[in-house]
Structure 1
Amino acid sequence: MFTKSAKFALPVLLVTPFYSWGFSYETPSISPESESGYEEKPGWEAESFAVAAANPLATDAGYQVLKAGGNAIDAAIAVQMVLNLVEPQSSGIGGGAFLMHYDGSEVRAYDGRETAPQGVNGELFLQNGEPLAFTDAVVSGLSVGVPGTLRMLEKAHAEHGELAWEELFTPAITLAEEGFAVSNRLHASLTSDEFLRQDPLASQFYYDSEGAAIAVGETLKNPALAEVLRRVATQGSAALHEGSVAEDIVERVQNHPERPGSLSVEDMRGYEALDREPLCTPWQQWEVCGFPPPSSGHLTVMQILGMLEQQPLLEAPFDDGAPSSGWLHQFLEASRLAFADRGRYIADPDFVEAPGGDWSLMLAPDYLEQRSELIEEMSMGDSAEPGNPGELAVSWASQPDQPEYGTSHISIVDEEGNAVAMTTTIEQAFGSRILSDGGTGLAGGFLLNNELTDFSFSPEVDGDPVANRVEPGKRPRSSMSPTLVFDQESGELVASLGSPGGAAIIHYTARTLVALRDWGLSAQEALNLPHAITLGGDVYVEEGRFPEETIASLRERGHTVSERELTSGLQAIRRLNDGTLFGGADPRREGVVMGD
């Protein structure tokens, strides 16, 4: 059976046993969500399969599916539906996702990213020629993209699923009908959010008459979501994208009281999930496979790691259990250069051509060596410029800085060796703050994304277009980095990992890969390490986690450093040399790993 350390006990009262499922077989925070503490976690061992997700109830749903004979895709669907219920601030059927899948021989990349409605143009977030305040854009109908999560999961299930689609919704429907105990994290997110109370449905469902969030431990039922999921279970994704549910979504977006959007029933009906070619990049003895554009995740992660490969080796990469100032300096400078390329070149490939016609040119060893030579003893600060990885058909402008948020991550390895790495989102915490009951008239429902704020608010800079500008039918650039790792020599799966965290997903994932490969840490030890990030300007280090000497040394190298809560939500499952699995869950969130 699955083992865990005695110092961390799974909250048994939150986890419903298998038999009950009925299986037949402005100056925004750099963190996407409010912090909810740091709880030491030991990591978990499993002999044959494991599920890692951001909430114990969601993890348990995936575990029960695997026990019932389902595979990794089946389990991912069950996990996502429960996350929609218990972690509504992060992901759900009103949003989008990227899914990496390995079936024992082939890696696939399923794109369920939201799309811009046909009624938008490049001036979507401009008012009198100037960009809207970020929060004004988010909390509006303007920000809502066409959801893609369900269509994408349906496509993946049709090609790889083992259990019947309908069965996979039983855990979420059961919990929605019978209720679940509100967690610390959900309560904290509800309490700290300024805007969700403004939505009529959400204010009645999540708050009392005085505006206080539903209390920790209180039982929360969601009959509207249960009804919508029941329809999806029997009718497929068409139950969301057509008919009364789609009409309710569109009505709420088009009738937003301050900033209505143009989302239409035709947009909802016409959404298509895509099968994209994954990017698999050699990295010493490993091959790292990640998502291609419109995700910037893999390209930027591997640019950072490729530049670090060119840097002098450091004898002592740790200071008192934290990455050393010398290693951090290299990591942060490589991040600045990679983010400069990201801001210039990466966008939806159906609208923007790769430099030189091939995204892999951004990862060419000669190019990364040239970029790495720009890293010196002193920080370049905010002066990093994009490089020239290949010829361009259009002269793109770099996207101006703006916030990015959101997401949750799921990693699964099943008994047959199939694997999933899926990062899923509605963007900012609670998305656009629009709750849809699907036209059911029942209490509760699901939240709609604000994914269109991942586009550049400015369509051009000094007359040159921004690659990631708003266009009808386009998918906004993302930082989501679902990652599968393989041994180059044997081809065997090494790990599944990923994280939420907005643009910082890239740093969290890159640092975790270094910790697993170069520093010999376990999955849990790698996730426990403190964070340090830069998006190209100031450096943010995780509050209270670094020695003062390390922070002082970074400042001496020219970095402007401040301490912040950096609320990642990493999940990782590593296959060990003996073939067993070891999983880790981020101590900054409430997730766990389960398996046998």
Structure 2
Amino acid sequence: MGSKALGCGVALLLAAACVWPVFAAPPLDAGEAGLIQAKEDFQPEAGTGLGERRLARARDYMISSANPLASQAGARILAEGGSATDALIAAQMVLNLVEPQSSGIGGGAFVVRYDSKQGVVQSYDGRETAPAAAHSDRFMKDGKAIPFRDAVNSGRSVGVPGVVAVLGLMHERHGRASWASLLQPAIDLAEKGFPVSPRLHALLEDNQALRQQAAAAAYFYDAQGRPWPVGHILRNPAFAALLRSIARDGPQAFYEGKAARDIVGAVASHAVPGDLSLADMSAYRAKARPPLCAPYKAYTLCGMPPPSSGPLAVIQMLEILSHTPIARLPPTSLEAVHYFSEAGKLAFADRDVYVADPDFIDVPVKVLLDRRYLALRAGLIEADATIGRAPPGDPVGLKAIRGQDDSPELPSTSHVVAVDRAGNVVSMTSSIETAFGSKIFVDGFLLNNQLTDFSLSGVDEQGKPVANRLEPLKRPRSSMAPMIVLKDGKPFMAIGSPGGAAIINYVAKTLLGVLDWGLDIQQAIDLPNYGSRNRFTELEKGRLPGLAPALRAMGHEVREVDFPSGLQGIVLTPDGLEGGADPRREGVAVGG
């Protein structure tokens, strides 16, 4: 230290149909409402309050996802003896339909998996890639970065989607059920229709950019431009047809032939066309990468390595916080919020300088996680005053030549965790980036805008090149943080969240809640969200009364905002499985 030291109930989910509960729509955020502001001024859009969740319990298997219909699909696969990977695939395909603002086959994903037979953690990279024709000035005009909104809503923002490829790779290695059977729940829902949820309706209501794309408008809105009402049965025959071809011919059917031509054509015909090519599509490959694992007290924290910065930053935060008294403090106390925010500043400062696609630039992961280095970083934290904007560390002498990239990363993403009867565990975060992605709608799904996760200018204010600059075939940096926690070498917890760059704070908070504060997974998810991304300190509006003035007295710049995480988690106990789902969204944990 420094000098001063609800979704539908479980029974309904197993029935043939699911009726949406009556509750206030979960909070919206600026990214999901299409209200993209300058990165320093970005705040989530006003919300309407939390729903309610109870801790879910099961003996043999469990899945928690962001939508009851997706959890239902995954739970049925698990009940029939499918693997956790199988359940993940079925749930993600359903999420494409029922939560199109957040994820789908037009986007990318990171997956962490525990293999119960081998006793090892594995990680899979399904992140999008930049087209071969892409260059670092892609989002520049007259020597300056164009407005972020303009970069998002264009064909130039679309990277080669990776979800189908990564799920195909995982199924090839870890699937039990047939590939075609896992796509059938989504095919059935697409053909028969599904009820528009309160969250989807609210996000459609507020999104003007989506209305401006003819194909998307024809699907999501009526003839008068009004979003389909809650409960409206929305059918998607085009998506069903596409899934049938992928079910029949395998994942490569998405990357070649008609599907690839349709994707490339839609990007090229946008008013601001992109340069995605058929060669880019056919060349895409998902990657197996060594997982990022590090000890933390009695546990081992494992997650996705770069190009995701999420688990790296989360582990940095927790190790830094181990040098503070936060574990002995009430979770919503002034002191806990202060220490947590300071640790976040230090982690984000390093993230913004050092993390990018490791196939293009050296990411000094080992040094950034060195316990001696993190102890020195923790020494910058004072008990009664903020350090303000934290500087990056310089553990390997790169600070002088690398620029700092604080590009926005907006929160339209989804998370799924699952455990099967054999004890295999999966944790996947998937995304199309901003709400409804690029707004380009093709063959019944939306394309991502993930290329805006690169630095828009490629250099910082001092003209130094940033690690996360756009380059051909490169994968953009992410904050997605799918994680699995081990205890005595066995899986203890699986966790993850949507939320853009705030994912790091959401996941770190929940890990602290379970591992240090002794809460169950639902209680930890329910905790108010707070933290800093090395700009201002954010407090979830209405959840931490009275803390803002005291934090300001310590020097914090405080903003009280709607802070809509979408955490999904499972804890494996000696007595069975315990699952949690974020009450800020529509998800639910289901098991048997």
Which interval holds the TM-score relative to the shorter structure?
A: over 0.9
Q: Once the two structures are superposed, what CA deviation does each residue of 1:65-117 show, in whole Å capped at 9, x if it has no partner?
A: 11122100000000000000000000000000001011111111000000000
Amino acid paired to 2:543? R
CA spacing shift, 1:147–1:35, aligned 2, 3 Å: farther
SS in 2 for 1:569: coil
Inter-partner Cα distance in structure 1 for 2:244 and 2:186: 10
Shift of residue 296, structure 1, vs aligned partner: 0.1
> Could you tell which deviates more after superposition, 382-391 or 301-310?
382-391
Inter-partner Cα distance in structure 2 for 1:97 and 1:33: 25
Gaps of 5+ in 1: 1-6, 19-25, 438-444
CA spacing shift, 1:540–1:325, aligned 2, 3 Å: same
Are 2:240 and 1:226 equivalent residues in the alignment? yes
Inter-partner Cα distance in structure 2 for 1:9 and 1:404: 28
Shift of residue 302, structure 1, vs aligned partner: 0.8
Q: Once the two structures are superposed, what CA deviation does each residue of 1:452-503 show, in whole Å capped at 9, x if it has no partner?
A: 000001112334211000000000000000000110xx31110111000000
Residue of structure 2 aligned with 1:310, choices 301, 320, 323:
323
Are 2:487 and 1:473 equivalent residues in the alignment? no
SS in 2 for 1:227: helix
CA spacing shift, 1:486–1:117, aligned 2, 3 Å: same
Q: Which residue of the partner structure matches residue 557 of structure 1?
A: 554
Q: Which residue of the partner structure matches residue 417 of structure 1?
A: 423
Q: With structure 1 as the length reference, what TM-score do the two structures score? A: 0.92
Shift of residue 392, structure 1, vs aligned partner: 4.0
Given that 2:303 and 2:482 are in contact with CA atoms closer than 8 Å, whether structure 1 keeps it comes out as yes
Given that 2:126 and 2:165 are in contact with CA atoms closer than 8 Å, whether structure 1 keeps it comes out as yes
Inter-partner Cα distance in structure 1 for 2:388 and 2:157: 29
Residue of structure 2 aligned with 1:324, choices 309, 326, 333:
333
CA spacing shift, 1:75–1:33, aligned 2, 3 Å: farther
CA spacing shift, 1:13–1:201, aligned 2, 3 Å: farther
Shift of residue 13, structure 1, vs aligned partner: 6.8
Amino acid paired to 2:581? A
Gaps of 5+ in 2: 1-5, 18-36
Residue of structure 2 aligned with 1:530, choices 496, 517, 528:
528
Shift of residue 164, structure 1, vs aligned partner: 0.7
Shift of residue 314, structure 1, vs aligned partner: 6.5
SS in 2 for 1:540: strand
Q: Which residue of the partner structure matches residue 414 of structure 2?
A: 408
Given that 2:65 and 2:581 are in contact with CA atoms closer than 8 Å, whether structure 1 keeps it comes out as yes
Q: Once the two structures are superposed, what CA deviation does each residue of 1:123-147 show, in whole Å capped at 9, x if it has no partner?
A: 0110111101000000000100000
Shift of residue 539, structure 1, vs aligned partner: 1.4
Shift of residue 340, structure 1, vs aligned partner: 0.5
Shift of residue 30, structure 1, vs aligned partner: 5.2
Identity of aligned residues (%): 48
Inter-partner Cα distance in structure 2 for 1:65 and 1:421: 16
Shift of residue 8, structure 1, vs aligned partner: 7.9
Shift of residue 551, structure 1, vs aligned partner: 2.1
Q: Once the two structures are superposed, what CA deviation does each residue of 1:273-293 show, in whole Å capped at 9, x if it has no partner?
A: 000000111000010101100
Inter-partner Cα distance in structure 2 for 1:450 and 1:592: 27
User: How many corresponding residue pairs?
Assistant: 564
Inter-partner Cα distance in structure 2 for 1:528 and 1:393: 38
Runs of 4+ in 1 over 6 A off after TM superposition: 11-15, 31-34
Given that 1:381 and 1:536 are in contact with CA atoms closer than 8 Å, whether structure 2 keeps it comes out as no
SS in 1 for 2:157: coil
Inter-partner Cα distance in structure 1 for 2:47 and 2:92: 22
Are 2:152 and 1:138 equivalent residues in the alignment? yes
CA spacing shift, 1:36–1:99, aligned 2, 3 Å: farther
SS in 1 for 2:205: helix
Inter-partner Cα distance in structure 1 for 2:44 and 2:247: 31
Residue of structure 2 aligned with 1:495, choices 489, 493, 496:
493
Residue of structure 2 aligned with 1:576, choices 573, 578, 584:
573
Q: With structure 2 as the length reference, what TM-score do the two structures score? A: 0.92
Are 2:359 and 1:347 equivalent residues in the alignment? no
Inter-partner Cα distance in structure 1 for 2:384 and 2:535: 14
Residue of structure 1 aligned with 2:268, choices 220, 238, 254:
254
Q: Which residue of the partner structure matches residue 510 of structure 1?
A: 508
Inter-partner Cα distance in structure 2 for 1:185 and 1:472: 36
**1:90-489 matched pairs, under 5 angstroms:** 90-104=102-116, 105-257=119-271, 259-312=272-325, 315-318=328-331, 323-355=332-364, 359-380=365-386, 382-392=388-398, 395-437=401-443, 445-461=444-460, 462-487=462-487
Q: Which residue of the partner structure matches residue 23 of structure 1?
A: none
Q: Once the two structures are superposed, what CA deviation does each residue of 1:354-390 show, in whole Å capped at 9, x if it has no partner?
A: 23xxx12101111001001111145446531100122
Given that 1:33 and 1:406 are in contact with CA atoms closer than 8 Å, whether structure 2 keeps it comes out as no
SS in 2 for 1:407: strand
